[in-house]
Amino acid sequence: MATNFLSTGISGLLAFQRALDTTSHNIANVGTEGYSRQRTEFLTRPATLTGNGYVGNGVEIATTRRIYDDLLAGQVRTSSSTFSSMDTFATYVNRVNNLFSDTTTGLSATLQKFVNALQDVTNNPSSIASRQVLLSEAGGLTDRLKSYDAQLATFDQQVESQLKSEATEISTLASSIAQLNQEITNSQARFGQPANDLLDQRDHLIDQLSTHIDVSTVAQGDGSVNVFIGTGQALVVGATASKVTTVADAYDATRHGIGIIQPGGNTVNVTGSMSGGTLGGLLDFRSHVLDPARNALGRISVALADVMNEQHREGIDLNGALGGDFFGIGAPTVLGNTANTGGATVTASIADAGALTEANYYLEKTATGWSLKRDDTGASITLSGTGTAADPFTADGLSIVIGGTAANTGDRFLIQPTRSATAGLAVLVTDPGKIAAAAPIRTEAAAANTGSGKISAGTVVDASDPALRSTVTIQFTDATHYTVNGAGSFTYTSGSPITINGWQVEISGAPAAGDAFTIKDNSGGTGDNRNAQALVDSLNAKVLDSGTTSINDATTRLIGGIGVTARQAQASRDAQSVIKQEAVDARDSVSGVNLDEEAANMLRYQQAYQAAAQIISVANTLFDSLLAATRR
Amino acid sequence: MRISTAALHNAAILQITDRTAALVKTQNQLASGKRIVTPADDPTGAVQALGLDRALAQSQQYGRNADAAKSRLSFEEQALADTTTLLDRVRVLALQANSGALDSVGRQSIATELQTRLGELVDIANRRDGNGEYLFSGYATSTQPFALSGGGATYSGDQGVRLLQTSDNQKIADGHPGSTVFMDIPQGNGTFVTGVGAANTGSGIIDAGSVTDRSAWVPDTYTISFTSETTYDVLDSSSNVVASGTYAPDGAIAFNGIQVQLSGAPAAGDTFTVTPSGKQDIFTTISNLITTLGRPADTDADNARFVTEIGTALAQLDRTQEHISTVRAEVGGRLSVLDSAADTRADRELDLQTALGSLRDLDYADAIARLNMQLTGLQAAQQSYTKISQLSLFNYI
């Protein structure tokens, strides 16, 4: 009899001791990341049947298990993957945003300073000092553009190196997870009890993995978990982990994507299917912010150089010579796919800056010819021309020439029209006297004219015409007809343009018979500011996007666009942070340790333990009294 | 809901971090005085501010352009004023010569002064602006525009006019080419010019004439030829007679929509010419006057010729004065346009600055109120955290 309740008391003593063990384990791990609180579960021992009913035999320990909800843990992973993707994105975008934030030395202000310096030249074209200032401001503008481009290139390199470390980190985590899978499977198979702490460790590693990339998990019957990333690429299967590495881009060997090394040793490029986590944020930033920003900046440089050069060539400098190019600019880059089998080479050049876009293009050899696709929208672009040097392909402001030997069907080329433009930007005019501020021609009405005819100052339409600066006399034979250099008879309409030798003038009013107008070389016209003014006008003109965007519009659009993206990224990140926190709270409300609860448990088990000990003491007393009774 | 101890601490710390971040942002705004520190703070506002900044910089540049134009125009105005004064003096001298009381010595001394004035006028026409550019040489601002030669001056400049941009859609010429100012002055009365035949022997004098019916005027060189002392024919350049009549002193001779008045006693065979106006430069006008003053004045015919030529010269001087006044009026007009444009620009710049201020600058009252609120919030969060974190059942065991 007495032995029965002694053993019952001992069973309670052991059970509560174990419960106190678990409680102290919980308390000790209150600060451990990824720890799930544990609970010792009791089971009533089978009762003994006596003649007068069942007599209980005390308690036994069923198991110690962790309080863990797979669903809630999954939510934490999803939300933290999205959060760290947004966080990485927002952090990088914010750096670009800060780059463009300075309004006093920023792009827009520097551009305006350059235009103002040009205006000062129009005020005083013969002054070497104001011309020198213009050259300095031009240098300042190219420096500013190039420093932005260099900064963006630095971000690109940082993304590159972070991608490398992300790949390493993911591989390390994957192999740790695989190893823990192995240990868990072994342990659970051997002892038939949940390996709580190992499970916590593994699940915490998966949590960590989810901050690097989107993960999905599938639990196996043996306690192991299979982990998939991206759109279903297996990273961990049981005790085997795949390796993630960076792989060079098929077009641009300096740029890397993400690849998975398959069991056979093949590396598969999975960059396109990677999303979420730091890795997803980096890839997103690179393709949606960094590359477009560099292209947009490049397009601004191209437009600036193109507009300036074109107009500058139509003027003459202080020495009377026609102006050359004002700015040098980087040419479009063309990169062949490493898988190309043909020997074709492709060169691209800018044909019309006004039609240029900020996109990259893929040029592909098809069975019937060549096709061009935009990188960002995937839209097909119609090519005109035949692709030879004499008749190049033209599309979206580009001129494309196919050279080398024949291409094979499927050969592809990546064309980046403006990516390298800014890096090649340079001021080609170094002598202030060589700034072409004057127009190459001037017009004169003969002093003896008796009619009221007036001639305009004239504009250049084709500076390359060899006879541009030859003297031309327009003489009226009567009120409605005139000869050119004494030849022909042309009908006169007041105000309608007369185009000869690459220039254009308008005569208006009522010239009389015998009236003469002369168009001649403007060498010596050191005070002429017409070409400088034309430079100002064309810099302010809407030259981009088929005449809807000015250079300044393009800069504010770039800066504003990055501002909007940065703001949205911050807002999304903040919102996602709340969502993530809620998911973590939900999980912690189930799995987290609460010290008050543990304190209460401790008291409860302590008291129960004391009570059980008391039973032993009572049993002892009973034995004693029994022994004392029988001793006599 | 069950709250884990770690979650309790994390939530409190997260709150405190967020509030600190907001506080730092406000502090940053207060320190910089700007509401928009980076474009992300208010992308629309930032882009607007960039546009306003640019408009402001552009407007200030237009101001500089206008100043440059104004300075050059003021130089021109001064030169034109000096020219007017000089021409006034020339006119006085011409009238003096015309008074008839002078002998050839007197005329000679006037001629000498005129010669000096002519030199002075060339100096005025060759003036430079503050940057050392010639005022009146068109585009060729480093070429001296005028040089005396023979009976007038040669012009080496061109007809270029420099335009300076003073607003988005206004360009103002900062001067006139010398050819416009000093060269292209219509002769005579603007339609025709009269002259006396060099071989005349009578004392007939012809005035400058006038146009009575512009539509009837046929430009050509006409000769009024006296067939006797009292009869004349008007011949055109092909020697066709277009009119003829009887001469009465001080009577008008009218033909082809014009009329001229002859006085004195012309001799038979005397001729007078009516030629269409060309253009005459100011230097030739004065040179001609000097030549006239140097002519012998012995006979009636000499006298008649002298009087006619002085008359022509005076008429031409009036034309020239008129012409210079027109150019001056144009310069004055441009200067006043520049002044009113400056006022408009100042108003606009003020508007732009106000807009920029309200867009980009910080509202300090608002920001300081916000700062205080955020401080209180942060303090409350910190205090409540320290209180709550002290709570533990373990304290009571």
pLDDT grade for A103, boundaries at 50, 70 and 90: low
Interface predicted TM-score (ipTM) over 0.95: no
> Position B191: which residue type?
T
pLDDT grade for B297, boundaries at 50, 70 and 90: confident
- For residue B9, which residues of chain A lie inside 8 Å, CB to CB? none
Q: Considering chain B, what is the average pLDDT of its residues? A: 89
Mutate to test the interface with B, among A80, A102, A123 (most CBs of B within 10 A): A123
| Mean pLDDT, residues B335-356 taken together | 93
pTM of the complete model: 0.86
Say yes or no for a CB contact (<8 Å) between B6 and A593: yes
- For residue B139, which residues of chain A lie inside 8 Å, CB to CB? 438, 442, 522, 524-528
pLDDT in tens, A455-488: 998 889 988 899 999 999 999 998 899 999 988 8
Whether residue A263 is predicted with pLDDT greater than 80 in this model: the reply is no
| Mean pLDDT, residues B342-348 taken together | 92
**Residue B211 CB neighbour total at 10 angstroms:** 16
DSSP 8-state symbol, B38: S
Mutate to test the interface with A, among B56, B61, B164, B192 (most CBs of A within 10 A): B61
Nearest Cα residue in chain B from A457: B160
pLDDT of residue B78: 95
Nearest partner of A418 among A372, A345, A353, A338, judged by Cα: A353
* Rounded CA separation A207/A68 (Å): 14
CA distance A528 to chain B (A): 5
| SS3 assignment, position A508 | strand
Whether residue A535 is predicted with pLDDT greater than 70 in this model: the reply is yes
pLDDT in tens, B91-131: 999 998 887 667 778 888 999 999 999 999 999 999 998 88
- For residue A560, which residues of chain B lie inside 8 Å, CB to CB? 39, 43-44, 46-47, 50
Report CA B117 to chain centroid distance, whole Å.
Answer: 26
pLDDT of residue B243: 87
pLDDT grade for B370, boundaries at 50, 70 and 90: very high
pLDDT in tens, A110-130: 999 999 999 999 999 999 999
Mutate to test the interface with A, among B16, B42, B162, B163 (most CBs of A within 10 A): B162
pLDDT in tens, A358-407: 999 999 999 988 999 999 898 999 998 888 889 999 999 999 999 888 88
Q: Please give the helix or strand (H or E) that residue A13 lies within, else none.
A: helix A2-28
pLDDT grade for A632, boundaries at 50, 70 and 90: low
A41 forms beta bridges with A63
Pairing between β-strand B258-263 and β-strand A516-521 as defined by DSSP bridges: unpaired
**Residue A478 CB neighbour total at 10 angstroms:** 12
Angle subtended by helix axes A551-591 and A70-99, to nearest 10: 150
* Rounded CA separation A32/A27 (Å): 10
| Mean pLDDT, residues A277-293 taken together | 94
pLDDT of residue A1: 45
Give the CB-side neighbour count of residue B81, counting CA atoms within 13 A: 8
Closest partner residue to A525 among B2, B7, B160, by Cβ? Answer: B160
Say yes or no for a CB contact (<8 Å) between A560 and B392: no
Nearest Cα residue in chain A from B360: A103
DSSP 8-state symbol, A377: T
Each as own residue / partner, the long-range contacts of residues A570-578 (CB below 8 Å, 24 or more positions apart, any chain) are A570/A90, A570/A94, A570/B40, A572/A86, A572/A90, A573/A83, A573/A86, A573/A87, A573/A89, A573/A90, A576/A79, A576/A82, A576/A83, A576/A86, A576/A87, A577/A83, A577/A87
* Rounded CA separation A433/A429 (Å): 9
Give the CB-side neighbour count of residue A325, counting CA atoms within 13 A: 11
Where are the strands (E) in A419-515, listed by range? 426-427, 441-445, 454-455, 459-460, 472-478, 481-484, 487-491, 497-500, 503-508
| Mean pLDDT, residues A204-222 taken together | 94
* Rounded CA separation A197/B219 (Å): 118
Residues comprising chain A, all counted: 632
Nearest partner of A302 among A332, A333, A324, A346, judged by Cα: A332
Closest partner residue to A101 among B38, B141, B219, by Cβ? Answer: B38
- For residue B65, which residues of chain A lie inside 8 Å, CB to CB? 119, 122-123
DSSP, residue by residue, A109-139: HHHHHHHHHHHHHHH-TT-HHHHHHHHHHHH
Nearest Cα residue in chain A from B40: A563
Task: Assign 3-class secondary structure to A567-621.
Answer: HHHHHHHHHHHHHHHHHHHHHHHHHCCCHHHHHHHHHHHHHHHHHHHHHHHHHHH
B279 forms beta bridges with B186
For chain B positions 65-104, those within 8 Å of chain A (CB to CB) are 65, 68-69
pLDDT of residue A2: 45
pLDDT of residue B302: 81
| Mean pLDDT, residues A65-75 taken together | 93
| Mean pLDDT, residues B74-100 taken together | 92
pLDDT grade for A5, boundaries at 50, 70 and 90: confident
Where are the strands (E) in A270-397, listed by range? 327-328, 333-336, 344-350, 361-365, 370-374, 380-381, 393-395
pLDDT of residue B214: 86
Nearest Cα residue in chain A from B144: A524
- For residue B37, which residues of chain A lie inside 8 Å, CB to CB? 101
DSSP 8-state symbol, A510: -
Q: Which two tokens stand for residue B154?
A: 């040669």
pLDDT of residue B374: 95
Say yes or no for a CB contact (<8 Å) between B38 and A563: yes
Q: Considering chain A, what is the average pLDDT of its residues? A: 91
| Mean pLDDT, residues A224-248 taken together | 91
Report CA B159 to chain centroid distance, whole Å.
Answer: 14
Interface residue B9 vs chain A (CB under 8 A) = no
Residues B27, A543 contacting (CB under 8 angstroms): no
DSSP, residue by residue, B350-366: HHHHHHHHHHHB--HHH
pLDDT grade for A104, boundaries at 50, 70 and 90: low
Q: Which two tokens stand for residue B258?
A: 């014009």
pLDDT in tens, A91-102: 999 999 988 887
| Mean pLDDT, residues A32-45 taken together | 93
Higher pLDDT residue, B320 or B301? Answer: B320
**Count of A-B CB contacts under 8 Å:** 201
pLDDT of residue A21: 95
CA distance A134 to chain B (A): 14
pLDDT of residue B162: 92
pLDDT in tens, A560-600: 999 999 999 999 999 999 999 999 999 999 999 999 999 99
Say yes or no for a CB contact (<8 Å) between B142 and A120: no
| Mean pLDDT, residues A426-431 taken together | 94
